[in-house]
Structure 1
Amino acid sequence: MYTETVKSAPERASDRAYRVLRDEILDGVLPAGTVLLEVEQSARLGVSRTPLRSAVARLVTDGLVAGRSGRGFSVTAMSVESINDLYELREALEERAATLAARGADRSAFGMLRERFLAAPALLDNGETGIHEYYALIDEFDAAIDAAVDNAFLVGALDTVRTHLARIRRVARGNPVRLRQAAAEHLLILDAIIDGDAALAAHATHVHLHLSLASVLAVLGSTDQAS
């Protein structure tokens, strides 16, 4: 019996350049202010200038890169003002998403996530590996919310916010106490969604985001004073 093997299409040069640069920016490998020169980056990534330009254009649309007054581009900074603006939008979107998730007909995925969040404190005892697994769990939580919301426009807006949130996460990575608190806050959100309590789900999300922002700003304030 003949079975046809389906091969996935090779990744385009522009997509690969975009993925690598985006990951490097979100992971802090390319910190704010890093200059991205065309010739330099083309050689480093092993792509020609045309796909690199396409990749950089997408990063500009994402808000991760901006043009310089001279030549080339640079990685954008996350100021206190921009972080406050991001959380203002995040609050509106995530509270609404939690409300819709709690009103959803099928909330079984959240029950399974709850069991895993109960084990999050032990997970966070495993150093950098545990932190990486914890954030992967957060990503699964976000995916479950997106599926429950079933609104492409809302999910698209949330995805944009999460792109920038990934940069802010680095601030919290060194604070295990805050990560454990955040895990407990996610449990409250999950309990409200599982119980179908839309008002409580939105309120628990509001509290979580308020504490998250306060923690980020406190760390940034301490960094500024140290500087």
Structure 2
Amino acid sequence: MRAGDRAYRTLRAEILEGALEPGTVLQEVEQSTRLGVSRTPIREALRQLAADGLVEANGRGTIVTAVSRDDIVSLYELREALEGKAAGLAAQRHDDEPFLAIRERLREAPQLLAQGEAGLAAYFAIVDELDDAIEAAVANPFLASSLRSVQLHSARIRRLSRHNPDRLRAAAHEHLLIVDAILARDAELAAHATHVHLHMSLTNALATSAGAD
């Protein structure tokens, strides 16, 4: 892997996980020393992160962007349009096998969520697998590209619920309902289940962000 790609993936993961908080200044020299690469790969990584909307330049240098309540609402408006449509299309076009496997794993989510950080990581891996399965079932490169962009920013918001066990258990059940609707080939129900999940996730994200203000 190229040094620039490695630096990009490392910095992106740290931003999405909250290790690099909004407002953090990312200086080329400091980051090149920390990550053990030259300044050129860091510069490349910062350009990619800026294109993703995860960092921006200001008078102090390059900083990690903040996620405001308005940003959260705007993102969920787009998620509802894209993910609801994608779930409906997946219900019409999917192969059963990947969704059957995901359903079995989601049924184990309550046990995983009781296992601390390792279980939480395993649960989020299932959610990512579901996103990938829906994207593959839809088989629409334009929709897939838009979904990936939305999911990148959703990952920053998702960590707001990582310390809310009740919300995580509810979300796991909501994901299971989406999978069941897809397997039933009920496009309307799949879209509706996605709408309910996103509504509940938005409500939680706004409540959590209000508590942090």
Q: Secondary structure at the match of 2:63?
A: strand
Moved over 4 A (4+): none
What residue number does 1:49 align with? 39
Q: How does 1:148-159 map to 2 (within 5 A)?
A: 148-159=137-148
What residue number does 1:21 align with? 11
What residue number does 1:7 align with? none
* 8 A contact 2:25–2:60 mirrored in 1: no
Gaps of 5+ in 2: none
Q: How does 1:2-13 map to 2 (within 5 A)?
A: 11-13=1-3
Which has the larger displacement, 168-177 or 41-50?
Answer: 41-50
What residue number does 1:31 align with? 21
| 2:177 maps to amino acid | L
* 8 A contact 1:117–1:183 mirrored in 2: yes
Q: TM-score, length-normalised on structure 2?
A: 0.97
| Identical residues among aligned pairs (%) | 60
Structure 1 vs Structure 2 CA RMSD: 1.1
Q: Secondary structure at the match of 1:184?
A: helix
Alignment equivalent of 1:123, drawn from 102, 112, 116 = 112
Q: How does 1:194-205 map to 2 (within 5 A)?
A: 194-205=183-194
1:95: how far off?
0.4
1:56: how far off?
0.4
Gaps of 5+ in 1: 1-10
User: Take 1:83 and 1:71, find their aligned partners in 2: how far apart are those partners?
Assistant: 25
User: Take 2:101 and 2:175, find their aligned partners in 1: how far apart are those partners?
Assistant: 13
Tell me if 1:58 matches 2:80: no
| 1:17 maps to amino acid | A
What residue number does 1:168 align with? 157
* 8 A contact 2:3–2:37 mirrored in 1: yes
User: Take 1:164 and 1:118, find their aligned partners in 2: how far apart are those partners?
Assistant: 27
